[in-house]
Amino acid sequence: MDESYESKQLEDGNVYVRLDMPGVPKDNFTVSVANGKVNVTGQAPALSHDSGSRLYSADVVMLSGPVDFPSHRVKTIIKNGVIRLLVPPV
C-alpha cells in the first residue's frame, strides 16, 4: 500500500484526502475542481544537488458526475509537505 496517499468517505458526506508531497512549500500547492475531478498540484524547488525541481500532480477525487464548483469549497490544511483536503459532497 502506498502510504503517501490516503482517502476515505466520512460519515458527514465529505471525502478526506491526505497527500504527501515532500519539499513542497505551503504556497506552492494548487487545488482545482473541473469536470468532476479534484486535482492537486505542488512544486518543490530544487535543493542542494538536485538537477531540477519536482512537480507533483494528481486527480485525487472523482465526483459523482462532471460537475465543477469553486475550489475554495474544498477545505485545505497544508503543513510540512503534507496536504489534507475535505471535499464536500455535491
CA distance 90 to 67: 8
Helix-, strand-, coil-residue percentages of the chain, each rounded to 5: 5, 50, 45
User: Domain range holding 51?
Assistant: 5-87
Q: Which residue do the cell numbers 459523482 mark?
A: 64
Domain count within the chain: 1
Grid cell of 51 as nine digits: 538537477
pLDDT per residue as tens digits for the range 45-71: 888 777 788 899 988 888 877 778 888
* Tens-digit pLDDT profile for residues 2-58: 678 899 999 999 999 999 998 899 999 999 998 888 999 999 988 877 778 889 998
**What CATH number is given to the structural domain containing 68?**
2.60.40.790
